[in-house]
Each structure stands twice: as C-alpha cells, then as structure tokens.
Amino acid sequence: LLRPLKTYMTWLMSFLVTLIWLFRDLLIMANNQVILAIYDDSREITADHISQWIATSNVSELAKFFYQRLHRRYIKPFEYKASAYKKDYKDGFSIMANCCLLIETYISFTVPSLKDTHNNSEKCFGYFFVTNPRFHSFSTGGLSATRYADIKDRTKDSGIPHDFYSNVRCGILHNGETRSGWKISRSGQLFDATEKRINATKFLKEMKNTIQATYQKLQKSNFNDLEFQTYVKRLEYLISKL
C-alpha cells in the first residue's frame, strides 16, 4: 500500500511542477505581447519587439521607440489642430500634468542612477532643470547635477527646482492645483520667476524639443555607447516589471 501511495505522490509532484512551469511560460508569452507603444502609423510595438531589437542591437528601431512612446503618450494629445479643441478643451493644467509625468520618465531613460524614480522624484526634476539649457530659467538656486544624480546624497533640495517640484508637480498631480502663488497660463514667456507664472504651451514645446534632440542623438549612437546602454538598461528594466 505504501509503495503505490509513494508512486502516486511522486507523480502528483511531478505534474504540479510541470503545471507551474507551463503557467510561467504562458505568463512570459503573454507579457511579451504587452503593447508598449503605438506609433503614428498605428503600428503596435510589444515587449517582444523590444527584446528582439536589443538582441540584434537595432539602434534605429530602439531610438524610434523612444520618441514614439514619449511623444504619443505625453505630447501628441495636445497637438490636435481643431479650433473647437483649442478653444474649449485644451488646458494649461492638463498640459503641465503631462509634462511633469514626462520629465520623470525622460530622466529615468537617460540617467543611470535614476532608472527607478521611486523615492527619487524630486531628484529627477532637479537634475532635469540644471542640465537642460532649454529650461535654464527653472534651475536658479538648485543643487549640482552630481548631487541630484547621487541617490545616496540626501541634501535638501533648494531654489526654483524645489519650489517647482513641491508647488507645481506635487500640487497638480496630488491635488489638481498649484500652490504658493504659482500660476499656469498659455501666454507670455516660458517662465516669469517674479510672478511664478509658467507658459504651459511653451513648456510643452520645449519638452518636445528635448525628446526630439535625445531621439536624434540616440539615432547617431553606437549600441555600446554609454548613453545608449543607459537607455537599453531602462528598457530591460521596463520589460522585467511587466
């Protein structure tokens, strides 16, 4: 009696292990088909596409993915040309909400130490403002790029980068409003520090210029270049979390 029972238990354990591995393989296959971007030509790009392009060092396709994913998700919704949309629907607060999301994801793709922005969101904004000439007016009083990039350096942030993060980024994303006198408009200069006023339309334009410039730089890179490898490692991290 004991021998048949032992045989049965051995068979059952073998069956369960096989079932677990089968389920794992099916899950991996399903994750590989997750759509990570939809291009302007309606082509759907999956995790499997990205894995294949990394395996074959396809710089051109990987660079294109960078622009298409970020532009379509965060910028294109505000480029609709219909006059009724511009008059009745387009809104500076929505633009800035998207731009804040874009800043954080952009930094995660371009700065090795900030690949995971969890608990490092403020560092992302500080680094972005002090290293991007297009947004120089937002860098006043900030820390050095080195300090922002060092996730172990917990020096308290300061200046306009800190004020923007606290009163615009957190204000909009957590409460749907700006704080401490910060204002959002769709006219005037990019940033009026005295009035704490941001022109959301110009901010969006400079965000587009930023990702276009990075896209062009990635296109001209070699696969093993440090900047391109930073991007690749972020893509691999993205896929690993699916």
Beta bridge partners of 13: none
Give counts: helices (H), strands (E), the chain. 11, 5
* C-beta separation of 238 from 62 below 8 A: no
Instruction: Express each pLDDT in 57-99 by its tens digit.
Output: 999 999 999 999 999 999 999 998 888 877 777 899 999 999 9
Q: Kindly indicate the confidence band of residue 25, based on its pLDDT and cuts at 50, 70 and 90.
A: very low
**What confidence tens digit (pLDDT) does each residue in 107-138 have?**
999 999 999 999 999 999 999 999 999 999 99
Q: In the chain, pLDDT over 70 holds for what percent of residues? A: 87
E strand spans, the chain: 35-38, 44-46, 183-185, 191-192, 197-199
Q: How far is CA 80 from the centre of its chain?
A: 22
Per cent of the chain over pLDDT 90 is 79
The answer on pLDDT for 28 being more than 50 is no
pLDDT, one tens digit per residue, over 131-177 is: 999 999 999 999 999 999 999 999 999 999 999 999 999 999 999 99
Q: In angstroms, rounded to a whole number, what is the distance separating the alpha carbons of residues 107 and 8?
A: 55
* Beta-bridge mates of residue 183: 197
Compute the mean pLDDT over every residue in the chain, rounded to the nearest whole number: 90
Q: Within 10 Å of residue 116's Cβ, how many Cβ atoms?
A: 12
